[in-house]
């Protein structure tokens, strides 16, 4: 157990101390505002306040952030410290030259996404270019976990008997099923429209593919599920699938939710892997749409649905998470950027969502991802070899802090079809590197 002295125990303070000390380092934590109790304690303890009581104690200078209730722009000075960046610079001979707890809270709570100058793209997604991490070149470093490693070293040196039980590195591959099949099972109208569009484009390769599938001489190119399953068995992967069940629209193009082929696919995959809902693009407007989509998926698999990832990564903090909480979703995997790889919340650890508007720690567990196939191919325009080099850097950065390396891939990008030729190899090499 480690005792924390602070002049005032707030929800913000309790949240970030418990995240770092309890959930990441595996320590029991107790808080006190009583100076006499703190001084008399003979075990491990931290003074988190504006001044040290004696020169021998472990003291971290407390910035105002964790004691505030307002959301306001913070004047952040960024400095270099050893192998990383720091901000909320400390005073008064603190044992770290910055307030690790305030800085970690700022990133994990996504404080900057609440600010009035936050900028968004055409899909109402927070722009990574607007973030502190992008501006100061630490987006590809799980910086909070790097800081926690430094704190862990200090704690071990000061309290050798402290039983730190850090969680191990973990790899979680995830898949979004946005378009289950390229040509199959589309129904008469969509199939006819597809043929006409292909003829209009004079895409003879696609015409040949369509004809071969019609004659059952070839498998639909997006039907990569058997290959995924064989890969899962080969490497003992703990994969998670997210299914789009929204009504057909400009950005929602999966099979209809009542399509029997889609039902069979969902049931097949749910028998071997955990699954979740992939709330549609349009569902971002209305919680009832999300509720209906969750109900449809639950009805198909005869299971409660407790996981989610937003289609198009349309994450609006705190609104999206508040809706998911209202619908009893327990785990969300949307925390990442569409146009950049890296660590949106500054961490490769899962964490509970803290609602800054309500000033409470919620029950929604957030699982950040580090890389997505579409980011590498469509946004960053990387070749397969360039993508593998970048992925390896992210994996190594995650392993260095015993973090969670989570990937987002799609069934169609594993097809080796058209623009995605060569990318199946990228994925399998990613799996190998992640498990090495």
Work out the number of other CB atoms within 10 angstroms of the CB of residue 26. Answer: 12
pTM here? 0.95
Q: Are residues 250 and 383 in the same domain?
A: yes
Does the N-terminal peptide bond of residue 318 adopt cis geometry, omega within 30 degrees of 0? yes
Q: Which helix (H) or strand (E) holds 60?
A: strand 59-61
Domain range for 61 = 2-158
Residues 325 and 409 in one domain: yes
- Domain assignment present for residue 314? The answer is yes
pLDDT of residue 350: 98
Can you give the pLDDT at residue 398? 98
Q: How confident is the model at residue 204, as a pLDDT? A: 57
The tally of domains found in the chain comes to 2
> 128 and 79, same structural domain?
yes
- Regarding whether 352 and 418 lie in a shared domain, the answer is yes
The residues with which 29 forms a beta bridge, in sequence order, are 2
Q: Are both 99 and 174 inside the same structural domain?
A: no
Is 38:3 a contact under the CB 8 Å cutoff?
yes
| DSSP string over 209-224 | HHHHHHTTSS--TT--
Q: Is residue 199 part of a domain?
A: no
Same domain, 135 and 279: no
Torsion angle defined by CA atoms of residues 182, 183, 186 and 187, in that order, rounded to the nearest 10 degrees: 170
Q: For 371-391, what is each residue's pLDDT tens digit?
A: 999 999 999 999 999 999 999
Give the separation between CA 178 and CA 241, rounded to whole angstroms.
Answer: 11
Residues 237 and 283 in one domain: yes
Do 356 and 389 share a domain, yes or no? yes
* Half-sphere CA count of 311, side-chain side, radius 13 A: 25
The vertex-368 CA angle with 357 and 29, nearest 5°, equals 65
Question: Can you read off the two tokens belonging to residue 42?
Answer: 């003979």
- Considering 109, 124, 158, which residue would you say is the last residue of a domain? 158
First CA to last CA across the chain, in angstroms?
34
Pair (138, 175) in one structural domain: no
pLDDT of residue 381: 98
The predicted-structure confidence for 221-266, as pLDDT tens digits, reads as follows: 999 999 999 999 999 999 999 999 999 999 999 999 999 999 999 9
Q: What is the pLDDT of residues 274-319, one digit of tens each?
A: 999 999 999 998 999 999 999 999 999 999 999 999 999 999 999 9
Specify the long-range contacts of residues 228-235, CB closer than 8 Å, at least 24 apart: 228/175, 228/411, 228/414, 229/272, 231/428, 231/431, 232/272, 232/273, 235/431, 235/432, 235/435
Q: Are residues 288 and 428 in the same domain?
A: yes
Is the pLDDT at 194 greater than 70? The verdict is no
Looking at the domain assignment, is residue 376 inside a domain? yes
Report if residue 231 sits inside a domain.
yes
Give me the residue label for tokens 């955990």: 274
Rounded Cα gap, residues 361 and 105, in angstroms: 12
List of residues 6+ apart from 339 with CB closer than 8 A: 121, 127, 128, 375, 379, 380
The Cα 315–Cα 64 span in angstroms is: 28
Residues paired with 32 in a beta bridge: 5
Report pLDDT digits (tens) over 181-191: 998 888 656 76
């Amino acid at each position: 157990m480690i005792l924390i002295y602070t002049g005032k125990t707030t929800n913000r303070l309790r949240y970030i101390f418990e995240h770092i000390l309890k959930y990441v380092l595996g320590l029991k934590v107790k808080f006190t505002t009583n100076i006499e109790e703190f001084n008399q304690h003979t075990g491990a303890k931290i003074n988190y306040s504006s001044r040290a009581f004696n020169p021998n104690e472990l003291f971290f200078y407390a910035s105002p952030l964790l004691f505030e209730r307002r959301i306001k722009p913070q004047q952040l000075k960024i400095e270099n410290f050893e192998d990383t960046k720091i901000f909320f610079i400390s005073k008064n001979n603190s044992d770290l030259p910055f307030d690790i707890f305030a800085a970690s809270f700022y990133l994990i709570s996504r404080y900057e996404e609440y600010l009035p100058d936050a900028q968004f793209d055409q899909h109402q997604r927070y722009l990574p270019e607007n973030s502190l991490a992008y501006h100061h070149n630490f987006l590809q470093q799980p910086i909070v976990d790097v800081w926690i490693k430094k704190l862990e070293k200090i704690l071990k040196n000061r309290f050798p008997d402290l039983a730190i039980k850090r969680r191990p590195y973990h790899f979680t591959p995830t898949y979004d099923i946005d378009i289950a099949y390229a040509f199959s099972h589309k129904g008469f109208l969509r199939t006819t429209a597809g043929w006409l569009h292909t003829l209009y484009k004079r895409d003879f390769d696609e015409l040949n593919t369509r004809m071969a599938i019609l004659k059952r001489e070839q498998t639909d190119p997006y039907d990569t599920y058997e290959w995924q399953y064989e890969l899962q068995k080969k490497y003992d992967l703990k994969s998670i699938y997210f299914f789009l069940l929204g009504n057909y629209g400009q950005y929602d193009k999966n099979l209809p939710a009542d399509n029997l082929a889609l039902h069979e696919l969902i049931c097949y995959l749910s028998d071997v892997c955990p699954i979740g809902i992939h709330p549609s693009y349009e569902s971002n407007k209305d919680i009832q749409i999300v509720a209906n989509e969750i109900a449809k998926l639950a009805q198909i698999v005869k299971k409660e649905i407790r996981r989610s990832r937003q289609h198009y990564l349309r994450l609006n903090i705190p609104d999206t998470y508040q809706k998911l909480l209202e619908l009893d979703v327990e785990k969300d995997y949307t925390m990442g950027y569409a146009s950049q790889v890296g660590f949106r919340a500054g961490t490769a650890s899962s964490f509970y969502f803290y609602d800054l508007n309500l000033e409470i720690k919620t029950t929604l567990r957030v699982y950040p991802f580090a890389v997505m196939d579409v980011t590498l191919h469509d946004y960053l325009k990387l070749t397969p070899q360039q993508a593998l080099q970048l992925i390896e850097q992210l994996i190594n950065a995650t392993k260095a802090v015993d973090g969670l390396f989570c990937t987002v891939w799609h069934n169609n990008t594993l097809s080796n079809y058209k623009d995605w030729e060569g990318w199946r190899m990228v994925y399998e090499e990613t799996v190998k590197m992640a498990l090495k």
